[in-house]
DNA sequence: GAAGAGTACTTGCAAAATGCAAGTGGTTGG
DNA sequence: CCAACCACTTGCATTTTGCAAGTACTCTTC
């Protein structure tokens, strides 16, 4: 039990923003969510391979928190018991608009557009289409990997 | 010079999300932004009075970072040189959709709806109207308090 | 014009979170 | 059975936070 802050340990106030930040207000949590949404990553080692180089203990902690809060779910890899899949629950999938809003702001106001040009272009071109394409990709992965997607 | 992370000190990667999180990925920064948008707060002591009880050193640091990154601007209080106004720049005002997305998610998935019911109601009722009302309030404050709003 | 209150901070120190390197225990392929 | 892989855990140094106290400046009141 090393989850930095358990499910609803201490909330700083009853404000939505403060509560959302209690869950996602750090430099790593949303990067994991990004990896699932936009890079179709689902395993521990895949998250580790992201360019930000998250440490294994931090990743482990964040996955636990997200699991404990029902944002993601896990499943043993069907082909290998020592591997796991992590995937978004409905609660987690509902975060996409937030990520899109972040990306839109960043695309305009952050100086460095080198990476992710494709995302920006798709964002500018047709946001709703991007949104549905990302969700389609997620659901397609689920159909192939999660036995009974409830 | 105690700003935790200067303007573009070290970026973890060239990903938008990672860059946005380098700026806003903590438990306090967006609460200051929330206070300006939704509670019409503009002074140090007003931010301190929020229910989350931010410490003075943290607040001071966050204001510096936001200033350094052009998200907010400051101005000496016209009636008292020892007071300051902090207000959103265009860059800062553009954060509203992100906050709205956070609030929408929280309104649905966070268990504690006690506070901020009004915001949720307005969000459900007519999001665009809420958005423009918040922006109107901000601009009205500026018209009254910022001499030449450029 | 000195005293007191208010404002926006800074400082110092303890506690917590993070970053890094190394290790652990189970699983699988050969 | 052994080496490689995988998802972690552990230990420890560094960084960030939280808290209490202090400081410098301004304005108000006598």
pLDDT of A118 reads 80
Task: Give me the pLDDT at residue A74, please.
Answer: 96
Considering the domain A16-141 in this protein, what is its CATH number? 1.10.10.10
Instruction: From chain B, pick out residues whose CB is under 8 angstroms from the CB of A116.
Output: 14-16
Q: Do A16 and B102 lie within an 8 Å CB cutoff?
A: yes
B83, B62 contact by CB (below 8 A): no
C-beta of residue B5 within 8 angstroms of C-beta of residue B11: no
pLDDT interval class at A150 (50, 70, 90): very low
Per-residue pLDDT at A149 exceeds 70: no
B26 interface with A at CB cutoff 8 Å: yes
10-residue block means of pLDDT along chain B (150 residues)?
A: 48 90 96 96 96 95 96 92 94 97 92 73 90 95 79
Angle at A35 between CA A29 and CA A36, to 5 degrees: 100
Distance CA A128, CA A60 (A): 33
**Any chain B CB within 8 A of the CB of A55?**
no
Q: How far is B118 from chain A (nearest CA, A)?
A: 12
CATH code reported for the domain at B16-145: 1.10.10.10
Give the Cα separation of A37 and A88 in Å (integer): 9
Work out if B120's Cβ lies within 7 angstroms of strand C: no
pLDDT single digits (tens) A16-33: 999 999 999 999 999 999
What is the DSSP track for A92-130? HHTTHHHHHHHHHHHHHH-S--STTHHHHHHHHH-HHHH
Q: Taking the domains of chain B in order of start, what are their residue ranges?
A: 16-145
B112 touches chain A (CB under 8 A): yes
A53 sits within 7 Å of strand C by its CB: yes
Cα angle for residues B100, B102, B104 (degrees, 5° grid): 70
pLDDT tens figures, A96-139: 999 999 999 999 998 666 667 788 888 889 999 999 999 999 99
């Amino acid at each position: 039990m090393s989850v930095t802050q358990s499910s609803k340990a201490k909330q700083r106030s009853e404000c939505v923003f403060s509560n959302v930040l209690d869950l996602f207000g750090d430099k790593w949590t949303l990067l994991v969510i990004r990896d699932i949404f936009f890079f179709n990553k689902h395993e521990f080692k895949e998250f580790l391979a992201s360019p930000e180089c998250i440490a294994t203990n931090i990743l482990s902690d964040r996955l636990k928190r997200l699991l404990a809060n029902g944002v993601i779910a896990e499943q043993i890899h069907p082909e290998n018991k020592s591997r796991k899949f992590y995937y978004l629950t409905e609660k987690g999938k509902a975060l996409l608009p937030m990520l899109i809003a972040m990306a839109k702001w960043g695309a305009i106001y952050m100086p460095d557009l080198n990476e992710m040009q494709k995302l920006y272009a798709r964002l500018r071109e047709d946001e709703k289409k991007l949104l549905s394409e990302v969700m389609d990709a997620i659901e397609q992965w689920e159909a192939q990997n999660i036995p009974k997607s409830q």
